[in-house]
Amino acid sequence: MSTALPAHSTLIEVTKPLPPDVLVGADITVTVRVSCSAGCDLRHVPLKVVAPGGATIASHFTIGDADEFGQLQIKAPSRVGEHAWALVLPAQEGAGLAHLECAVPMSFSTTPLDSSLAVWDIPSSTVTGDRFQIKVGAKSAADCVLRGKGIEICREDGTIAARGILQDSPFPGTSALYWTSIELVAPQQAGICSLSARFEADELELDHNSSSTSFGFVVVRPPEHMVTVRVVEQDTAMPIGNVQIRLGAYRAETDQSGQARINTATGSFELNIWKVGYDAPPRMVDVNADASIQVEAVVVPEDDPDAGWM
């Protein structure tokens, strides 16, 4: 007739519990203490993490040599939701005695990772009906691979103006900014055009928040006239090269002879110039035919050599 082994009760204490919310896929450390009612050494017990239904969650458990406190290393699920797991010390038999099973609940929620968008190579202005390209990049807060995912460009009323697919490799010089070029068509109406880029972060390995960002540009009428702007130094009349010219929404830069040629529509425009070390007041220019304009700039101290127009 078999004799039942003496059974000791066991205890699992979570001394540093999980936060209530953790990011999907995050590495989680739980500090626990495993003890026996009779003081047995349980430093090498096979502590498990068990999900509803009995599935064992992959984990790694270590206890320091000097005490019964240890750290349980687990990875959060890849999907957003509420999770009710249990820390389980299975029943043990050996060395002439038994230890009873012990379990303690462990509940937490997983939250999605953030994604972000960047839009660049946006023209400052474009002619009504013209086609042009912009670049759009998406990035995961965890640097997840986003290749093959879609980007939508939306109008203010929510309708889709264009779509693109993120390329296989990140943008040069970045580690995880996946990007694409998207062709757009300027509206037929002149004025300010506001659009938004949208990234729907679905079907990724880890759940992410979707993201969007707004951008805009000026739509101008087709050019009718040529305006030549010549910039010279006021005291010497010497031409000044590499001066940035802004005539309303139109932009140009002077060559080494101090001249810039700008195709414009008919209208009234504010003329501004910019170059480090020079200054000239803005002025209004009425354009109803081809015209030549001379701007006399004065030399000024360089307050910020790295400054520039945005």
Q: Which tens digits make up the pLDDT trace of 76-115? A: 999 999 999 999 888 888 777 888 999 999 899 999 999 9
Domain of residue 231, CATH code: 2.60.40.1120
- Asked if residue 241 is part of any domain, the answer here is yes
Reported as a single tens digit per residue, the pLDDT across 233-262 is 999 999 999 999 999 888 899 999 999 999
The reported pLDDT for the residue numbered 54 is 84
Q: Which of 111, 142, 177 is the last residue of a domain?
A: 111
Domain of residue 82, CATH code: 2.60.40.1930
Domain of residue 177, CATH code: 2.60.40.10
Which pLDDT band, with edges at 50, 70 and 90, does 306 fall under? low
The reported pLDDT for the residue numbered 290 is 96
Judged against a pLDDT cut of 90, whether residue 280 lies above it is answered with yes
The neighbour count for residue 88, using CB atoms within 10 Å, is 18
Please indicate, yes or no, whether residues 126 and 79 belong to a single structural domain of this protein.
no
Residue 259: closest CA among 232, 286, 236: 232
Please indicate, yes or no, whether residues 34 and 46 belong to a single structural domain of this protein.
yes
- Asked if residue 306 is part of any domain, the answer here is no
The reported pLDDT for the residue numbered 31 is 86
Please indicate, yes or no, whether residues 84 and 144 belong to a single structural domain of this protein.
no
Reported as a single tens digit per residue, the pLDDT across 217-237 is 999 999 999 999 999 999 999
DSSP lists the bridge partners of residue 140 as: 115
Please indicate, yes or no, whether residues 123 and 61 belong to a single structural domain of this protein.
no
Please indicate, yes or no, whether residues 34 and 75 belong to a single structural domain of this protein.
yes
Percent of the chain with pLDDT over 90: 67
- Asked if residue 203 is part of any domain, the answer here is yes
Please indicate, yes or no, whether residues 189 and 276 belong to a single structural domain of this protein.
no
Please indicate, yes or no, whether residues 207 and 130 belong to a single structural domain of this protein.
yes
Residue 149: closest CA among 176, 187, 122: 176
- Asked if residue 1 is part of any domain, the answer here is no
Number of domains in the chain: 3
- Asked if residue 308 is part of any domain, the answer here is no
- Asked if residue 285 is part of any domain, the answer here is yes
Please indicate, yes or no, whether residues 142 and 191 belong to a single structural domain of this protein.
yes
- Asked if residue 33 is part of any domain, the answer here is yes
CA–CA separation, 20 and 13 (whole Å): 17
Please indicate, yes or no, whether residues 107 and 119 belong to a single structural domain of this protein.
no
Give the lowest-confidence range in 33-47, 82-96, 270-284.
Answer: 33-47
What range defines the domain where residue 148 resides? 115-220
Please indicate, yes or no, whether residues 106 and 119 belong to a single structural domain of this protein.
no
Please indicate, yes or no, whether residues 199 and 246 belong to a single structural domain of this protein.
no
- Asked if residue 310 is part of any domain, the answer here is no
Edge-first strand order for the sheet with 69-75 is: 10-16, 27-36, 69-75, 59-63
Please indicate, yes or no, whether residues 197 and 269 belong to a single structural domain of this protein.
no
Q: Which of 111, 136, 165 is the last residue of a domain?
A: 111
Judged against a pLDDT cut of 90, whether residue 288 lies above it is answered with yes
The reported pLDDT for the residue numbered 307 is 52
For the CA atoms of 12, 18, 24, 25, the dihedral, rounded to the nearest 10 degrees, stands at -50
Q: Which of 204, 220, 236 is the last residue of a domain?
A: 220
What pTM does this model have? 0.76
* Residues 191-210, mean pLDDT to the nearest whole number: 95
